[in-house]
Structure 1
Amino acid sequence: MKRSLKTTFITACSAGVMLGTLAACGGGNEGGAENENNGGTGNTGNNGNNGNNAEENTGNEGNNSGGSGEVSGELEIQYFVGGYGDSWWKEVIEDFQEEYPDVTIIEHAGPNVNDEMRSRWVSDDPPDVVYIDGAGSSETQMVEDGQLMDLTDWLGEVETADGEQLSESFIVDPATYDGQIYTLPLVFDTWGTWYNSAKFEEEGYEVPADFDSYMSTMGDIQDNEGIDPFVTTGQHPYYFLRGVLTPAFGAAGGDELLADIVTGAEGVWEREEVVAQMEKVAEMQEAGYIDEGFAAFNHTQSQMNFLLGDNAFIPVGFWLPNEMANDTPEDFDFGFIPSPMQDEGEPYAIVPDLRPLAVAENANNPDAAKAFVEFVFTQEYATLFSEHTGAIMNLQGVDLSENENVPDYLIEANEMINDPDQVQIYNRPHPMSADLETPIGDSLTALMLGNISVEEFTEEAEAATAEYRGE
């Protein structure tokens, strides 16, 4: 998988994730959490539906449940609007409506859509299709709660409009849960560490190549600038967990360790290679390199502080430049590296970060839902996704090489990612459940504040995994 992922990323990314609008994603599932900007708010509850219409949409009439082969009836689609914006969704939905005129589409969208739709999911009256991203969403949690349809057999039969087997068309394969597939990864992203490359060049700061040089550079910046070099959002500690620790665990123990981390294997937080990564976090804290106010910051505040030069490093996904486009100073140049937590002499580590589409287990119109999911995964819409968002859709063979708007930082990141001497790519079987990620994130925040020791963190993390396992 690692070899094929690299090959495809070369094609898709050098092919040109549109510069100028590099994807802001957002993602309580795997991304930029509580995004407030990029016009998201205005899209909440499109068509007058804002999550309070459970009774109105219960038992849709005219849905294709009679086996006629026609797609009709009401189709409810829920999608989070964050850094990626919603213009791609609008175009795809409009085209789908034209293709299937007998379908009435109801959109539920916006930056708070997950909270607004929660009662629908809890009452077993969900929308038909859901894009799992943003604050308040968790792919693994939805699978564990039985909210998503098993798509394993269906996926094995689906061909895209391009004539390809959909199951063979992904850059990164779908997450599996005991061998079953419940979601299809729509967006390919990855977390990393960002810095102001213009400032680094001006001041002669070394771009970190490993943890030791990371600490050295942060020390130089603190001495020279008088700032806390590192910032993240404390309101959403999964930013640090996913953006810093997850690749660190990949570098330390590979796919096997990542699988044990996300599944809550007994004793995993006590392992020597895991404790070593947590000691690095404590070292950052003890050196005073972590912004002492981080715990109060939401993700946009931490990003704004970074852009204003209050901090020098921040862990975020590829959506950062697009999400903060309106607030980026003219003299700021985005630089990106995989988070440099690996030991000296080891390559950087990257863990792909995906945002999926799924069909609700209790969908009122599963035929239309599957038709929509199938409709989306084509070369045409993958290309449009890059044009609208500056990000990559998780589909192989998308050629964007003639696109002249590819940003320098993305070209550089692409070259780095595709150099096995510089970067190793690791994979998890699926994201961590919110039931496990939340308590670990709370303990992580306490460690980063200096309120608990690494030993105490380890004890709390092990207790959280035991509770997650039901012990």
Structure 2
Amino acid sequence: MRKTMSTLLAVTLLGVGLIGCGNSTNTPAASKDSNSTKATSTAEATSTANAENTSKEDAKKDFDNKELSIAVFQGGYGADYWNEIVSKFESTYPGVKVNMTINPKVGEVIRPQIVAGNPPDFLSVTDTEQSGIMLSLIKEKGLLDISDVFESKALDKDETLKDMILPGMLDSTRFQPYQDGKIYLAPFNAGPMGLIYNKTLFAEKGWSIPETWDEFFALGDELKKEENFLVNADGTKTKRALFTYQGIYPDYLEEILYPAIASAGGKETLDKVFAYEEGSFKNDTIKKVLDIFYKISKDGYLMDGTVALNHTQSQTDMMMGKALFIVNGNWMENEMKDSPRENGFEFGMTTVPVFNKGDQKYVLSSYEQFSIPAKAKNPELAKEFLKFLYTDESVKLFAEKANGAYALNDAKELSKPYLTKGVYDMFEAYNGSISILQGWQSLPKGSKVSVVTEMFKNTMTPVMTGQMTTEQWMDNVEKAFAQIRKEKAASK
């Protein structure tokens, strides 16, 4: 039976702090250590020292192969954390050498290695990464079963790793893609995704955060008044748009689509979509949701030029006041930390609007993943590195250097001293909401269908430019689902 993320995860995530870009490196990571991780009390300092000593005791185990190759997607969290944690791993395990490839397009960089049967030993690449390399590995059953890692004890505490992970995550299809009771992907971080807005602007204008889609579009109409126009540096005025998104990466809009489907039809409606059931994407509930996107475009609520922009361009325009909302996750603050913005800009996040007051709100949770290829040359050292990433020292370093939080039960307290107020406050989006994960069932081996392509890339831009109707959108996805069902039947 297919399991989904538990309601308990939604509660736990309330206090916990993801996808988000650099040059590729194939050299050992820098060897300098960071002295910036601070102990907030004598007790914490003692705990940290004990954790480090425990790790060093465990490090006495010998590995025949001391060379580890890792590949990391460099997204909104940057490279600083990875450079430092790799350096710490090398210093904790004398003689170990880590060769790291970190790149915004890491999937394309490592694809030739994987095709040649010589993959990196360890991957920090999510199954939503643009190249689709992870989806291919999952489909071809090219990942190692790492269930034993989660049954083992943590390096720095007397607790199994599976008991440290946020409830419900390891049982979901994102980490057990075949639902066979075995874990093939490991959770990295977790956080809410929703509509990002400028808190300062809303306070200055006295605007309320829209709870329903009617209120959302009413706010868009309010923006047509000249007193709400954006004042440019030269004193001229420009009408603010209600909404923009990462145009050439339309799958960001899943952050609206999936919660809206769950809110409109219940979680069971979304589960049917994720299972490719016949008719699941062509019905009145789905049309009601898709019509929201059509209305944003047709009625002039979308920022001009959106469909041609990449993620940083659209995010910069939003921060400069050209659009009121953009869909994104809590990694955006770190990703855009050096980008221009309106004076006093303050990050805020709200949930996707509902259709009627009192409807259940849903929040799509972001996550990234670790994995070990089945053909890795050094799987045992890769497993040790995975366990090292779950230590308290690593969790705090990630919060300090990347402004993010691991998907662990105690990440709230460990990360809070290092997270910015903006990122920490975004977790309020979980209040009163149910958290959901992507729950797509794995595709059959050899499938030629790309769900992301059919759901977003071949449809969203035409819809947003008025070249496709929502009926055609539904038809295209239903055809893809029918092909998947046919392939599944043939593979049995």
TM-score, normalised to structure 2, is 0.80
Pairing of 1:90-129 with structure 2 (within 5 A): 90-129=83-122
The aligned length equals: 425
Provide, for residues 188-243 of structure 1, a one-character-per-residue CA deviation record: whole Å limited to 9, x for no partner.
12211011121122222221112111111122123443233211122111011x22
* Residue 7 of structure 1: how far off its partner (Å): 4.0
Using the alignment, how far apart are the partners of 1:47 and 1:410 within structure 2? 32
Q: Secondary structure at the match of 1:273?
A: helix
Which residue pairs with 2:261 in the alignment?
A: 249
Structure 1's 406 and 182: CA in aligned 2 closer, same or farther, altered over 3 A?
Answer: closer
User: Is residue 274 from structure 1 mapped to residue 254 from structure 2 by the alignment?
Assistant: no
Contact 1:255 1:427 in 2 (8 A): no
Using the alignment, how far apart are the partners of 1:118 and 1:395 within structure 2? 30
Using the alignment, how far apart are the partners of 2:138 and 2:192 within structure 1? 22
Which residue pairs with 1:176 in the alignment?
A: 176
* Residue 88 of structure 1: how far off its partner (Å): 1.4
Which residue pairs with 2:49 in the alignment?
A: none
Using the alignment, how far apart are the partners of 1:258 and 1:45 within structure 2? 40
User: Is residue 380 from structure 1 mapped to residue 399 from structure 2 by the alignment?
Assistant: no
* Residue 129 of structure 1: how far off its partner (Å): 0.2
User: Is residue 288 from structure 1 mapped to residue 300 from structure 2 by the alignment?
Assistant: yes
Which residue pairs with 1:214 in the alignment?
A: 216
Pairing of 1:186-205 with structure 2 (within 5 A): 186-205=188-207
Aligned-pair identity in percent equals 25
Provide, for residues 354-401 of structure 1, a one-character-per-residue CA deviation record: whole Å limited to 9, x for no partner.
100000110011111111111111222112211111111111113537
User: Is residue 436 from structure 1 mapped to residue 431 from structure 2 by the alignment?
Assistant: no
User: Is residue 144 from structure 1 mapped to residue 136 from structure 2 by the alignment?
Assistant: no
Unaligned runs of 5+ in 2: 30-60, 230-238, 444-448, 488-492
Aligned pair partner of 2:12 in 8, 11, 19: 8
Contact 2:73 2:124 in 1 (8 A): yes
Structure 1 stretch displaced more, 250-259 or 400-409:
400-409
Structure 1's 430 and 130: CA in aligned 2 closer, same or farther, altered over 3 A?
Answer: farther
Pairing of 1:72-471 with structure 2 (within 5 A): 72-133=65-126, 134-137=129-132, 139-171=134-166, 173-174=169-170, 175-179=175-179, 180-223=182-225, 224-225=228-229, 226-240=239-253, 242-329=254-341, 330-400=343-413, 403=416, 406-417=419-430, 419-420=431-432, 423-429=433-439, 435-441=450-456, 442-470=458-486
Which residue pairs with 1:45 in the alignment?
A: 25
Provide, for residues 136-176 of structure 1, a one-character-per-residue CA deviation record: whole Å limited to 9, x for no partner.
24544421122211223443345443221111211251322
Using the alignment, how far apart are the partners of 1:431 and 1:79 within structure 2? 25
* Residue 406 of structure 1: how far off its partner (Å): 4.7
Which residue pairs with 1:62 in the alignment?
A: none
Contact 1:222 1:229 in 2 (8 A): no
Contact 2:16 2:190 in 1 (8 A): no
Which residue pairs with 2:52 in the alignment?
A: none
Contact 1:264 1:436 in 2 (8 A): no
Contact 2:121 2:373 in 1 (8 A): yes
Using the alignment, how far apart are the partners of 2:70 and 2:435 within structure 1? 33
Amino acid across the alignment from 2:176? T
Amino acid across the alignment from 2:240? I
Amino acid across the alignment from 1:358? S
Contact 1:193 1:316 in 2 (8 A): yes
Amino acid across the alignment from 2:217? M
Structure 1 stretch displaced more, 180-189 or 255-264:
255-264
Q: Secondary structure at the match of 1:193?
A: strand
Q: Secondary structure at the match of 1:188?
A: strand
Provide, for residues 6-41 of structure 1, a one-character-per-residue CA deviation record: whole Å limited to 9, x for no partner.
44324434xxxxxxxxxxx4xxxxx22xx3xxxx23
Using the alignment, how far apart are the partners of 1:92 and 1:103 within structure 2? 13
Bigger relative contact order (CA 8 A; separation at least 6): 1
* Residue 296 of structure 1: how far off its partner (Å): 0.7
Contact 2:125 2:369 in 1 (8 A): yes
Using the alignment, how far apart are the partners of 2:347 and 2:395 within structure 1? 24
Contact 1:255 1:428 in 2 (8 A): no
Q: Based on CA coordinates, which of the two structures has the bigger radius of gyration?
A: 2
Contact 1:189 1:353 in 2 (8 A): yes
Using the alignment, how far apart are the partners of 1:7 and 1:232 within structure 2? 28
Using the alignment, how far apart are the partners of 2:248 and 2:317 within structure 1? 15
Contact 1:71 1:102 in 2 (8 A): no
* Residue 106 of structure 1: how far off its partner (Å): 1.0
Using the alignment, how far apart are the partners of 2:425 and 2:101 within structure 1? 37
Using the alignment, how far apart are the partners of 2:151 and 2:135 within structure 1? 21
Amino acid across the alignment from 2:318? F
Contact 2:192 2:427 in 1 (8 A): no
Q: Secondary structure at the match of 2:8?
A: helix
Q: Secondary structure at the match of 1:106?
A: strand
Q: Secondary structure at the match of 2:281?
A: helix
* Residue 283 of structure 1: how far off its partner (Å): 2.0
Amino acid across the alignment from 2:206? G
TM-score, normalised to structure 1, is 0.83
Q: Secondary structure at the match of 2:72?
A: strand
Which residue pairs with 2:43 in the alignment?
A: none
Q: Secondary structure at the match of 1:373?
A: helix
Amino acid across the alignment from 2:12? T
Provide, for residues 390-438 of structure 1, a one-character-per-residue CA deviation record: whole Å limited to 9, x for no partner.
1111111135379556544445433442x33xx2223443588781111
Contact 1:435 1:468 in 2 (8 A): no
Amino acid across the alignment from 1:163? D
Structure 1's 401 and 347: CA in aligned 2 closer, same or farther, altered over 3 A?
Answer: farther
Unaligned runs of 5+ in 1: 14-24, 26-30, 50-67
Contact 1:129 1:357 in 2 (8 A): yes
Amino acid across the alignment from 2:94? P
* Residue 122 of structure 1: how far off its partner (Å): 1.6
* Residue 48 of structure 1: how far off its partner (Å): 7.9
Amino acid across the alignment from 1:459? D
